[in-house]
Chains A and B, each alone.
Chain A
Amino acid sequence: MVYILEQRLKAQGIQQDKSAKVLQDIVRTMFDRSFLSEKLFVPQDMYSLHSTRKIFDRLAHSSIMRLSESSMDKLFDLIVMGAKYQLMCAPRLDDMIQVTLRHLGTVQAILTTAAAASPEGKVDADVINLVSYAEEATIRFYGTLSIGELSLLRQTLARFFQDKRVKVSLFLAEGIQQPSSGKLVAPSCISDQVGLVRSFDDTGRLEREERLHVNSQKADPNEFFCHPVALGDNLYRKDREKAVPPPRSADMDAGKSSAGAQPQQQPAQSTRYVEEQVNKAAVQELDLLAALVQTSKAPADNFKLNLCFDDEADEEAAVQQPQEAGIRTKEEKQLEFGADGKNEGYIKAVGGVLEGLGLDDQQHGKSVGEDLLDLMDSVA
């Protein structure tokens, strides 16, 4: 969230003192000590996506910044897709903790840089201390989890993000998402260990080792493009070199992988009583959490942050069609973060694949290729 807001504040030319204040206010709310110690770093049930969205809504509006409903939706979708990418592409269990610590370190760096550029010239030390406290709490809480607990945690998070597949132009352009289906490109399956067979004698000593021929290890390495920016680092940083993925056959396969990509939603089997209990618990949790997310009244010098190109066009589109983030028609704008025209080579290489893309997660049969290319080439 901080990465995205920092980039948008710069793109919209918000005054540096206001930008610094927005970021510090949000971080101060996000990492409030009592919130972290009493509500966040305690074993608890997973919140729903809806509840989590409301928490971020509160966080975003804890500063002088104001976001429209559609901008908030877009921001949340970007946050969710970014987190999902980092979770599903991490090759090891403890990467979840490393990514979190990297986030926190980068947040501190962003705050320091933003404050240094402002007229005041320095960051509020209390805010930096709050982030440090969050780092310590992360290590203390998650550092002692066993492999089994980390595995369960990962599965729980994967379930939380399941079926959330919003196409983000930055991710599409830099090979993080597959253009045809929006699937996150997986890390490579190729390993020199796969196919090894070891036999042991009665004493446990290695008796024999052989290697089997395994076809999956002959997969094309280009199909598993690995983005050069480390998981957890700031993908939205303007000064970094853009990644250009190689052309992949999986990206060309628009027809097969994109049709009917959405899994069918099965109705819940729970009884009415169980549904009511779950909803009651969710509302209680949300109220308590919202109360702990301390927000102050909006001062007079607040401003509106736009996560879209054209707020008017977006509002008009929202009236015409149900509110959804993702790839939109020419009148609506997609999540066009970070794309600044340096990926024309990649776009050309995948040919007309992008022209067949439908709207957001479902095929609507309308070609959005041209405006998608325009958006991907535009400056954020």
Chain B
Amino acid sequence: MQGAALQGIPTDSDTKLDVKKVWDETGANLLYVWKLPRSEPASTQHADFVRGLCFTVSEAGGVLLCVGCSSGSIQVFSVVPGPVIRPTATISGQHSRPITCLGSSYQSRRGAWADDLGSELVSCDDQGRLCVWQIKDEQSLQCVAAAEAGQPCCSVAVRRGFVVAARVDGCVQLYGMKDARLRSELVVASRWLSAMDIHPVKDLVATAAEDCTLGVWALPMCGQKASCLLSVCKYNERLTGAAFCGQGADSVAAVGYDVGALNVWNF
């Protein structure tokens, strides 16, 4: 927003992970804190928690921050210059299971302009239900398509009219946004896909898995064929996160469980 970047982080230091904090781009200044209201009646299966967040834009032009909740609802916040953040709507009815991840074309482009930017939000729950929401304004979100991915997704993104969903069993699937039909899938890991990041400019994804593998893949869309640009096996390092980084986002960083190092590769 106006050149400033915001970070929304649920941190483990917050009691029971039911607090969402928004920090400025330096990570030094806490701008906003939101605590998830307790569900009534209280769940007997799990404590309330938040999981999944992304920024998106509405058709009216406003920037929104969306947060997934364990009840299956999505909390929407408006973000206006200041920045001033305030809750505007709670969206429910499509997911009955905890949200696992949220995505949007705005988030996938990291806020940069692109010709495929839209006013949408994609959500996934831990039963693998994917929903595509069209956002009119900060209070009006309508589900326009839904699909059953079959497995929960650790990450979801939007690119050129496709939903890119990373299933925890190691498969990255592409669904059409308008009809939620499965168009293609890539098997990127043998098990436990932990994370996926989408390149902000190119149609590439980076995947990290607990089978110790990191991959950078070209997505099969808009005339581009699927290919593997980078494939690494980091022995005995169960990878838990991956992100494109560096100049032009042409490097990829990964972190692993029980490991203090950050590994970076060029591709």
User: Secondary structure at chain A's binding surface: helix, strand, loop or mixed?
Assistant: loop
- For the complex with contacts A152-B126, A217-B231, A268-B13, 20 further pairs of A-B residues with Cβ separation under 8 Å are A43-B47, A147-B152, A149-B45, A149-B126, A151-B152, A152-B98, A183-B258, A186-B236, A189-B209, A189-B233, A191-B190, A194-B170, A197-B184, A200-B183, A214-B231, A216-B233, A223-B235, A260-B260, A260-B261, A270-B14
Contact with B along A195-233 (1 / 0, CB 8 A): 111111010100000101111110100010000000000
Known: A185-B236, A202-B181, A270-B14. A195 touches B187 (CB 8 A): yes
Q: Would B227 and A199 count as touching, CB distance under 8 A?
A: no
From the candidates B125, B186, B228, B236, name the one contacting A184 in the complex (CB within 8 A). Answer: B236
Stretch of B130-138, B210-218, B246-254 that contacts chain A:
B210-218
Q: Which residues of A contact B11 (CB under 8 A)?
A: 269
Per DSSP, are chain B's interface residues mostly helix, strand or loop, or mixed? loop
B83 at the interface (CB under 8 A from A): no
A212 to B152, CA, bound (A): 25
B contact residues around A151 at 8 Å (CB)? 126, 152, 168
Distance between Cα atoms of A217 and B190 in the complex (Å): 10
Contact A159 B12 (CB under 8 A): yes
Is B109 an interface residue, CB under 8 A from the partner?
no
- The answer to whether A91 touches B191, judged by C-beta atoms less than 8 angstroms apart, is yes
Out of A43, A88, A193, A195, which one reaches B45, CB within 8 Å?
Answer: A43
Please tell me if the beta carbons of A274 and B15 are within 8 angstroms of each other in the complex.
Answer: yes
The reply to whether A277 and B258 contact each other, CB–CB distance below 8 Å, is: no
Given the contacts A148-B126, A162-B257, A270-B14, A250 and B187 also touching, CB distance less than 8 Å: no
Contacts known (A197-B226, A199-B220, A223-B235); A148 close to B15, Cβ less than 8 A: no
Q: A148-B152, A186-B236 are in contact. Are A45 and B47 (CB under 8 A)?
A: yes
Give CA–CA (A45, B18) in the complex, Å.
13
A146 touches B258 (CB 8 A): no
Bound Cα distance A199, B125 (Å): 24
Q: How far is the CB of A358 from chain B (nearest CB, A)?
A: 16
Q: Given the interface contacts A147-B151, A194-B187, A195-B187, does A189 sit within 8 Å of B211 by beta carbon?
A: yes
User: Contact at A215–B258, with CB atoms within 8 Å?
Assistant: no
Minimum CB–CB distance from A62 to chain B (whole Å) comes to 31
Q: Which residues of B contact A213 (CB under 8 A)?
A: 228
**A261: interface (CB < 8 Å):** yes
List of A residues within 8 angstroms of B146 by Cβ: none
A190 within 8 A of B: yes
Q: Per-residue 0/1 for B70-104: is the Cβ within 8 Å of any A Cβ (1 yes, 0 no)?
A: 00000000000000000000000000011010000
Q: Is the CB of B228 within 8 A of A212?
A: yes
Closest to A262 in B: B260
Query: Does A147 lie within 8 Å of B220, measured CB to CB?
Result: no
A349 at the interface (CB under 8 A from B): no
CB distance from A139 to the nearest CB of B (A): 17
A188 and B13 alpha carbons, distance in the complex (Å)? 33
A361 to B209, CA, bound (A): 25
Closest to B100 in A: A148
Q: Tell yes or no: A21 within 8 A of B by CB.
A: no
Q: Are B190 and A190 in contact (CB under 8 A)?
A: yes
A178 to B237 CA separation, bound complex (whole angstroms): 11
